[in-house]
Structure 1
Amino acid sequence: MNDAPHAAETEDRLRLDRQICFPLYAATNLIQRLYRPLLSPLGLTYSQYLVLLVLWERGHATVGELRECLHLDAGTITPLLKRMERDGLVTRSRDRQDWRRVIVALTPSASALHEEARQIPDGLAARIGVDDAQGAELHGLTTSLVARLQTALGQRSDGQVIAQRSARREKINPTRRGIS
């Protein structure tokens, strides 16, 4: 049996231009660069803008909710929120009903930025030449991809981990049957 065609096919699959991940990675980096001049007058980074988008919509959120919504890990969100607090954009406080939860809320200065930020989506669309229909199509495709990726990682579409979390809990805290 000749393995040469199979090896060539495998090697071809490893070309950078054949990867699904690379154009997504490149697009993310390029979009962030396009956002920079739009966010700079507001004194925001792209990551700060994403946090503010969630808070402008909800008013406040726990750190866990922000992590899930933005698909960030604790090592990324915590320093980001500390910088935003230092810069006067958010406040962080312990939940009175559950001290383990930290609630993040907008400051008046961050609330005031909301009106100024309204022009950012249109500014980005104009810079990349995407009309409303193309934008809606791209949004639908990427949203569907995010949902598929969450499923592949065992997460619900709201960011909650499903199977792995309950399995981990069972290992850590097995229920003792027959003991009252």
Structure 2
Amino acid sequence: MKIANKMLIGTLLSLVSAVSVSAVSETTTSPNINAGEQLFRTAGGYGCIACHGLYANGAGNVGGNIRGKTLDDINHSLANEPTMQLLSSALSNMDRLNLAVYLEALGKISLVEWTIEDKATSSTITIESDTPAQLVIFNKLFEPVELTLPQLTPEQTVQLNPYETKAVDWIPSKGVYTLNYNQSQLTIEIK
């Protein structure tokens, strides 16, 4: 899966549109998606993940989904949101630009979320074919979960510990995929 993630990040780098660099002097280096991802996970000692989830999808946390947010969005939040103001002085202009490149790249990936829990759930989502997609799976059970997802990943299985979140990145082909685990069902319609 690490190879697939690196390939997806490489694809994302080619998809990322130009980001406004007005807040960064022209003598700085280019924005870096990997640096943005690292900052997302560690900024301020606890990372953006504390409020926005491991994959910036909100994950039911207080900060919500911030995939696709821009440098202007980040700067506005750092200036105006009380919790975000705590990070403002910790992030340089380049840090902010790196975060923006990372979040904008995530915004170009079709997000599919699946929560596996102890009650019956069924949901359907429609996404486009032939564009990067990310399935974010949250195991809300008090037991490990082992999933086989042959339509999405060549890996044999995806294992999640209790209350763990993992992502599977793939390029979907047209069709309908139905994923099941006990009482939890997710249907992905790919147009």
Normalising TM by the smaller chain, what interval?
under 0.3
Structure possessing the higher radius of gyration over alpha carbons: 1
Q: Which of the two has greater strand per residue?
A: 2
| Bigger relative CO (Cα 8 Å, ≥ 6 apart) | 2
TM-score of the pair, normalised by structure 2: 0.25
